[in-house]
């Protein structure tokens, strides 16, 4: 039997101080799911990381650190699939231009999207006139 539909819609200021809150929400959600699915603590760690990286990406690269902007994150679970969307209203970026392999060992940056790609099944970044969205899916079984 599939999971019941869960939807979380979160809006927080475009500030890194809220990364911990978003990460903890992901961790607690995974623990809640594990009571039904038997997923391990690993999923809690992964969601903590993925949400932190995705929000951090929006804050720094899309919203250019503007503290007056808002980051909008939507998390939904249906039919044993988790979907995370992180919206931004910035210039956006071209996901396909980023290398898919491991980042250079001694590069200080460039690991965020690599980490997300490693921990999620599918990662897409869509750009439109109104907003951009980083969309990520993961099968829970």
Partner 1 sequence: MTITVTERNGVTILSLGSERLDAHNSEMVKDELKRRFAAGAKKVLVDLGAVSFIDSSGLGALVSGFKSAMAGKGRLSLSGLQAQVHSMFELTRLNRVFDVFPTVEEALSSFAER
Which residue from 30, 33, 59, 86 is in contact with partner 1, where contact means CB under 8 A? 59
H/E stretch holding 115 = helix 112-119
Q: How far is the CB of 93 from partner 1 (least distance, A)?
A: 15
Contact segment (CB under 8 A) with partner 1 among 3-11, 41-49, 83-91, 123-131 equals 41-49
Which residue from 3, 37, 45, 70 is in contact with partner 1, where contact means CB under 8 A? 45
100 lies in the site for partner 1, by CB under 8 A: no
Instruction: Please report, for residues 17, 37, 83, 118, 139, the alpha-carbon distance to residue 79 in angstroms, rounded to integers and kept in the order given.
Output: 33, 12, 11, 22, 9
Reported as half-sphere exposure (CB side, CA atoms, 13 A), residue 117 has a value of 15
The set of residues, in sequence order, having a beta carbon less than 8 Å from that of 92 and lying 6+ positions away, is 62, 125, 127, 132
Residues that bind partner 1 (CB under 8 A): 16-17, 19-20, 23, 45, 48-49, 52-53, 56, 59-60, 102-103, 105-109, 111-112, 114-115, 118
């Amino acid at each position: 039997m599939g999971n019941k539909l869960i939807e979380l819609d979160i809006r927080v200021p475009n500030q890194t101080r809220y990364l911990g809150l978003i990460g903890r929400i992901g961790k607690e959600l995974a623990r809640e799911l594990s009571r039904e699915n038997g997923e391990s603590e690993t999923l809690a760690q992964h969601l903590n990381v993925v949400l932190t990286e995705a929000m951090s990406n929006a804050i720094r690269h899309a919203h250019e650190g503007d503290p007056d902007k808002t980051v909008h994150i939507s998390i939904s679970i249906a039919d044993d699939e988790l979907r995370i969307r992180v919206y931004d209203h910035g210039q956006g970026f071209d996901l396909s231009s980023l290398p898919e392999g491991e980042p250079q060992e001694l590069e200080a940056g460039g690991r965020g999207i690599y980490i997300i790609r490693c921990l999620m099944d599918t990662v897409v970044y869509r750009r439109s006139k109104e907003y951009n969205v980083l969309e990520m899916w993961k099968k829970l079984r």
